[in-house]
Amino acid sequence: MNSLDIRHELPYIPFGPFKIRLPFFHYKIEKVEFIQGLVLGVTGLSSVPYLMEYLGLPYELAWSCVIIDVFLYILHGFLGDPVVPGWITPTLPLTIIYLQGYEMGPERIQAMIALQILVGIVFIFMGITKMADRFVHVIPNSIKGGILLAAPITVMSGQLGEGQSFSKYPISIIAGVGLLLLISFSDKYQELRKNSKFLDLIAKYGNLFPYLLAMVVGLVMKEIATPVVTGENMIKLPEFSNIISQISIFGVGVPSFRYFIDALPLALVCYVIAFGDFITSETLIKEASEARKDEIIDFNSSRSNLVSGIRNIILGILAPFPPLSGPLWVGMTVSVSMRYKEGKAAMRSLLGGMASFRLATFFSVICVPVVMFFKPLFPVGASITLIFQAFVCARIGMDYCKTDRDKMIAGVMAAVLAVRGSAWALGVGIALNILLSNIEVSKD
Residue 271 maps to a domain: yes
Residue 253 maps to a domain: yes
| DSSP class per residue in 352-389 | HHHHHHHHHHHHHHHBHHHHHHHGGGHHHHHHHHHHHH
- Mean pLDDT for 224-246 is 88
Whether the CB-CB separation of 288 and 307 falls below 8 Å is answered with no
* CA distance linking residue 267 with residue 256, whole number of Å: 16
Residue 386 maps to a domain: no
Residue 300 maps to a domain: yes
Which H or E element spans position 282? helix 257-291
Q: What pLDDT sits at residue 202?
A: 83
pLDDT tens for 59-92 read 999 999 999 999 999 999 999 999 989 888 778 8
pLDDT tens for 112-149 read 999 999 999 999 999 999 887 677 777 888 888 888 88
* CA distance linking residue 351 with residue 297, whole number of Å: 8
Q: Is pLDDT above 90 for 221?
A: yes
Among 79-88, 159-168, 215-224, where is mean pLDDT lowest? 159-168
Residue 279 maps to a domain: yes
- SS3 state of residue 14: strand
Look up the domain containing 51 and give its range: 28-157+249-369+397-435
pTM reported for the whole predicted model: 0.83
pLDDT tens for 297-342 read 888 888 999 999 999 999 999 999 999 999 988 767 877 887 888 7
Residue 184 maps to a domain: no
* CA distance linking residue 9 with residue 329, whole number of Å: 24
Residue 5 maps to a domain: no
pLDDT tens for 382-420 read 788 778 878 877 887 888 888 889 999 999 998 998 888
* CA distance linking residue 179 with residue 189, whole number of Å: 10
Backbone angles phi, psi at 436, to 5 degrees: -95, 10
* CA distance linking residue 103 with residue 385, whole number of Å: 26
Residue 22 maps to a domain: no
Alpha carbon 282 to its chain centroid, in Å, reads: 17
Q: Is pLDDT above 70 for 32?
A: yes
* CA distance linking residue 333 with residue 323, whole number of Å: 19
More reliable by pLDDT, 282 or 68: 68
Helix-then-strand count for the chain, H and E? 22, 2
Mean pLDDT across the chain? 87
Residue type at position 297: I
Domain count across the chain: 1
User: Where residue 201 falls among pLDDT bands split at 50, 70, 90?
Assistant: confident
pLDDT tens for 360-378 read 999 999 998 888 888 888 7
List alpha helices for 85-140, DSSP H: 92-99, 106-129, 132-137
| DSSP class per residue in 207-272 | THHHHHHHHHHHHHTTSSPPP---SS-SBPPP-HHHHHHHTSHHHH-PPPHHHHHHHHHHHHHHHH
Q: What pLDDT sits at residue 124?
A: 95
Find which of 175-179, 315-319, 406-410, 423-427 is predicted with most confidence, using mean pLDDT.
315-319
User: Where residue 1 falls among pLDDT bands split at 50, 70, 90?
Assistant: very low
Q: What pLDDT sits at residue 205?
A: 67
| DSSP class per residue in 147-200 | HHHHHHHHHHHHHTSTTSHHHHSHHHHHHHHHHHHHHHH-HHHHHHHTT-HHHH
Backbone angles phi, psi at 20, to 5 degrees: -75, 130
